[in-house]
A and B are shown apart, each in its own frame.
Chain A
């Protein structure tokens, strides 16, 4: 009965803080539902209409989408969220939440191509050693991290600030679907049909932190959701790592402040994996790339970022030949080329 009431209450899509305060004040989800239907707690007409849905109806519409509701305190609800003071009473999940803690890769929506490239490489590296990657399916750092994870064939979790049937931005839906198809999940505490409104995203970030053993802030300004995620992780006793950046650059200030305040600085892919190993246990050995030694460009590149000009000079090849080599490795998914620098994509 109590879990049905929790589901019914979650279906209203109240602000998570208000939801929690009401339950604390009135004693139980059932009491809150009663107060709302009696009119002693004022809510908008739209929310009042949601009161009519029965738990069976809610579960049927979730099932139609291939999703389910996990209720706190019942089987299936992730243990590592159960213990948190402000964990969501109900999680709507499509796909399978991994049983182990994940690594959160987060950062600004307004990211530089540098930040996006790092997020992608980190996503790949973390997935390669077998750890799930969690992020928020937003533009910029988030989506690059998800993509990197998918490219390495890893398990990824996307935490939405809307219902499972809405994506923000909408063009990220295919990535979300691929996360589910790849053995991961998309999750949210908001009911189906919830539109992505600005105020729904900050509470969403505590779920990202709650699902992770460590939060890696790749690139973030001082204002922004990534720092909310980092603060939540600190309050949960999870590790926080940050990628240092230029001190003059707006989009690095958040990361640099975190490092000043004690976050572990990430200085490279290998160091990231090593540092994460302390909280997640020894990593699986990353598979070695299968052709790098044979390919002159890949071996010249190593793990550095190089311009085509540098490669042409170093390999003593014509521009045309170098570009053909870049085109081939790009088509094989071995390197990334943003028009200025070439970076190797670690083998899968």
Chain B
């Protein structure tokens, strides 16, 4: 008279096990009660489940049925628990063997008994792996779940088939590999001609994970440079891929391409919630989390409202963002590499070689004030990107992303021996890293010459460390510092 079916939910990007407990009670009254803090969609599940049972040739138990979704404090939303509720009701009513409930099930039921895909396929797979149970999912969700190796994923298309497959009476069909997502607009480095400085800056940024700031007139190719960066980053390993997939799943998206780090480019009109995450009862991650383990590109940085940029600062530093609403707090990961692009002034031509700027001076000051300050401090690499003339745009065949990525991977391996990306080296850690006396004195001389602040000094050291890693050197020498000084151009 009692049955339990396992299912799963996502809190932030944490998959949580969920138990669907069904009790079929006395025959005195016929009722179907769903408890456990469900939202409207779960309550609607009652009617869908009843209809699906009838359509599939079963009887709705003529008794008092109580369905409890436990734990009660786990926020639940959507229609994903129709399938486990139906399985539990049938098993508790003795209409099917109890063995059919030894699964993790997730899916919405159509009124004709079909099973539809919902969010959370990957979460269900993780829970199934933990419990060592097979996992029943609609084909779409099954494709998502298949990202996790070593789990018995069984795609099911309707309730009757689901029961047969759960009992092992018929074999589950093959899991269809996930449809390739709309390809992220990523370019290859070989598409960039000339621009030695910018190309090298991308390589250094990729190797050390440094945030990159690009300033230049319209049409200089800032966006193109930003789109190249993901192609230079190391491919995501299994663990990273899973994090990315969970982050995207929590927003209701299919995960991005299999191995390439994500690239997100939110528009400057996006709300704070769209950037860092938010929402009401169901908390959704923002662009920061969708760019987790990848690149967050803020084009036209000067157009983003100041409070939006402020909201980004702490999550970027900490690698995660906490959102609290009405008694629930969720932590989304946000370990992103930031690329920001901006015009140097409202008209864009302040630094141009050929076109004079037409902005009033006060306008330039106000514009620069927007993206100066604490956020700008986080950018180790700052570059002016000039417009090139036609002659400068033609050049021989350039190195492609793959060749550079190999050097980036090697440089990252040296960093992981030290335990962290150079981007996050703090001042004491920088002090402890080996540097030749010549390199130190060159740095000291540059403090006066370029009016480097303490933070500016740290930035040069972090970049110099990455340049040494790219060169395969244990100790930062003079030439590494000299190259790093080129990337210090004040904006």
B-contact 0/1 string along A296-336, CB 8 Å cutoff: 00000000000111001000000111111111101101000
* Alpha-carbon gap, A250 to B194, bound state (A): 28
* Alpha-carbon gap, A112 to B354, bound state (A): 6
Contact between chains at B361 and A169 (CB < 8 Å): yes
Contact between chains at A139 and B361 (CB < 8 Å): yes
One of A169, A246, A319, A328 near B199 (C-beta < 8 A): A319
Task: Tell me, yes or no, whether B445 is within 8 Å of chain A by CB.
Answer: yes
Contact between chains at A338 and B384 (CB < 8 Å): yes
Name B449's closest neighbour in chain A (CB-CB): A331
Contact between chains at B356 and A320 (CB < 8 Å): no
A-contact 0/1 string along B298-315, CB 8 Å cutoff: 000000000000000000
B357 contact set on A, CB distance < 8 A: 110
* Alpha-carbon gap, A329 to B197, bound state (A): 16
Contact between chains at A319 and B392 (CB < 8 Å): no
**From residue B301, how far is it (CB to closest CB) to chain A in Å?**
18
Task: Tell me, yes or no, whether A53 is within 8 Å of chain B by CB.
Answer: no
Which of B67-75, B250-258, B259-267, B482-490 has 4 or more CB atoms under 8 Å from chain A? B482-490
One of B392, B442, B446, B470 near A307 (C-beta < 8 A): B392
One of A246, A251, A327 near B486 (C-beta < 8 A): A327
A221 contact set on B, CB distance < 8 A: 356
Task: Tell me, yes or no, whether A113 is within 8 Å of chain B by CB.
Answer: yes
Task: Tell me, yes or no, whether A205 is within 8 Å of chain B by CB.
Answer: no
Task: Tell me, yes or no, whether B324 is within 8 Å of chain A by CB.
Answer: no
Contact between chains at A323 and B353 (CB < 8 Å): no
Name A248's closest neighbour in chain B (CB-CB): B354
Task: Tell me, yes or no, whether A157 is within 8 Å of chain B by CB.
Answer: no
One of A113, A249, A325, A339 near B383 (C-beta < 8 A): A339
Task: Tell me, yes or no, whether B188 is within 8 Å of chain A by CB.
Answer: no
* Alpha-carbon gap, A339 to B446, bound state (A): 18
Name B467's closest neighbour in chain A (CB-CB): A320
Contact between chains at B470 and A320 (CB < 8 Å): yes
* Alpha-carbon gap, A299 to B134, bound state (A): 72
A312 contact set on B, CB distance < 8 A: 196
* Alpha-carbon gap, A319 to B199, bound state (A): 9
Contact between chains at B194 and A309 (CB < 8 Å): yes
Contact between chains at B361 and A339 (CB < 8 Å): no
A338 contact set on B, CB distance < 8 A: 351, 353, 384, 386
Task: Tell me, yes or no, whether B41 is within 8 Å of chain A by CB.
Answer: no
Contact between chains at A339 and B197 (CB < 8 Å): yes
Contact between chains at A339 and B385 (CB < 8 Å): yes
A-contact 0/1 string along B460-486, CB 8 Å cutoff: 000000010011000000111111111
B355 contact set on A, CB distance < 8 A: 112, 249
Task: Tell me, yes or no, whether A144 is within 8 Å of chain B by CB.
Answer: no
Contact between chains at A327 and B484 (CB < 8 Å): yes
* Alpha-carbon gap, A249 to B352, bound state (A): 13
Contact between chains at B356 and A339 (CB < 8 Å): no
**From residue B399, how far is it (CB to closest CB) to chain A in Å?**
9
B471 contact set on A, CB distance < 8 A: 320
Task: Tell me, yes or no, whether B373 is within 8 Å of chain A by CB.
Answer: no
B484 contact set on A, CB distance < 8 A: 327
**From residue B213, how far is it (CB to closest CB) to chain A in Å?**
13
Task: Tell me, yes or no, whether B26 is within 8 Å of chain A by CB.
Answer: no
Task: Tell me, yes or no, whether A285 is within 8 Å of chain B by CB.
Answer: no
Q: Which of B196, B484, B489 has the most CB of A within 10 A?
A: B196
Contact between chains at B200 and A320 (CB < 8 Å): yes
Contact between chains at A331 and B485 (CB < 8 Å): yes
Contact between chains at B483 and A327 (CB < 8 Å): yes
**From residue A72, how far is it (CB to closest CB) to chain B in Å?**
34
A-contact 0/1 string along B175-194, CB 8 Å cutoff: 00000000000000000001
Chain B interface size, as a band, is 35 or more
One of A114, A249, A309, A333 near B395 (C-beta < 8 A): A309
**From residue A113, how far is it (CB to closest CB) to chain B in Å?**
5
B442 contact set on A, CB distance < 8 A: 328, 331
A201 contact set on B, CB distance < 8 A: none
Kindly identify, within residues 373 to 387 of chain B, every residue whose CB is under 8 Å from any CB belonging to chain A: 383-386
A-contact 0/1 string along B335-357, CB 8 Å cutoff: 00000000000000001111111
Contact between chains at B354 and A319 (CB < 8 Å): no
A327 contact set on B, CB distance < 8 A: 481-486
Given A331-B449, A340-B388, A324 contacting B483 (CB threshold 8 A): yes
Contact between chains at B479 and A324 (CB < 8 Å): yes
B446 contact set on A, CB distance < 8 A: 331
Contact between chains at A319 and B196 (CB < 8 Å): yes
**From residue B172, how far is it (CB to closest CB) to chain A in Å?**
54
Contact between chains at A250 and B467 (CB < 8 Å): no
One of B385, B479, B486 near A330 (C-beta < 8 A): B486
**From residue A312, how far is it (CB to closest CB) to chain B in Å?**
6
Q: Which of B355, B480, B483, B485 has the most CB of A within 10 A?
A: B483
A110 contact set on B, CB distance < 8 A: 356-358
Task: Tell me, yes or no, whether B195 is within 8 Å of chain A by CB.
Answer: yes
B481 contact set on A, CB distance < 8 A: 327
**From residue A161, how far is it (CB to closest CB) to chain B in Å?**
15
**From residue A206, how far is it (CB to closest CB) to chain B in Å?**
24
Contact between chains at B356 and A251 (CB < 8 Å): yes
A249 contact set on B, CB distance < 8 A: 354-355
One of B200, B354, B388 near A323 (C-beta < 8 A): B200
Q: Which of A250, A331, A333 has the most CB of B within 10 A?
A: A331
Task: Tell me, yes or no, whether A111 is within 8 Å of chain B by CB.
Answer: yes
**From residue B466, how far is it (CB to closest CB) to chain A in Å?**
11
Name B489's closest neighbour in chain A (CB-CB): A339
B467 contact set on A, CB distance < 8 A: 320
A-contact 0/1 string along B383-421, CB 8 Å cutoff: 111101000100100000000000000000000000000
* Alpha-carbon gap, A249 to B354, bound state (A): 8
Task: Tell me, yes or no, whether A108 is within 8 Å of chain B by CB.
Answer: yes
Which residue numbers of B lie inside 8 Å of A, CB to CB? Answer: 194-197, 199-200, 351-358, 361, 383-386, 388, 392, 395, 442, 445-446, 449, 467, 470-471, 478-486, 489
Instruction: Offer 28 A-B interface pairs, CB within 8 angstroms, sorted by A.
Output: A110-B357, A112-B352, A112-B355, A112-B356, A114-B353, A169-B361, A308-B196, A309-B195, A319-B196, A319-B199, A320-B200, A320-B470, A323-B197, A323-B200, A323-B486, A324-B479, A324-B480, A324-B483, A328-B442, A328-B478, A333-B449, A338-B351, A338-B353, A338-B386, A339-B384, A340-B353, A340-B386, A340-B392
Known: A307-B196, A323-B482, A333-B449. 19 other contacts (CB 8 A): A110-B356, A112-B355, A114-B353, A139-B361, A221-B356, A250-B356, A309-B194, A309-B196, A320-B467, A321-B479, A323-B200, A324-B479, A324-B480, A325-B482, A327-B485, A328-B479, A331-B446, A339-B489, A340-B392
Top 7 A-B residue pairs of the complex, sorted by shortest distance between their CB atoms: A327-B482, A339-B384, A340-B386, A324-B483, A324-B479, A327-B485, A328-B482
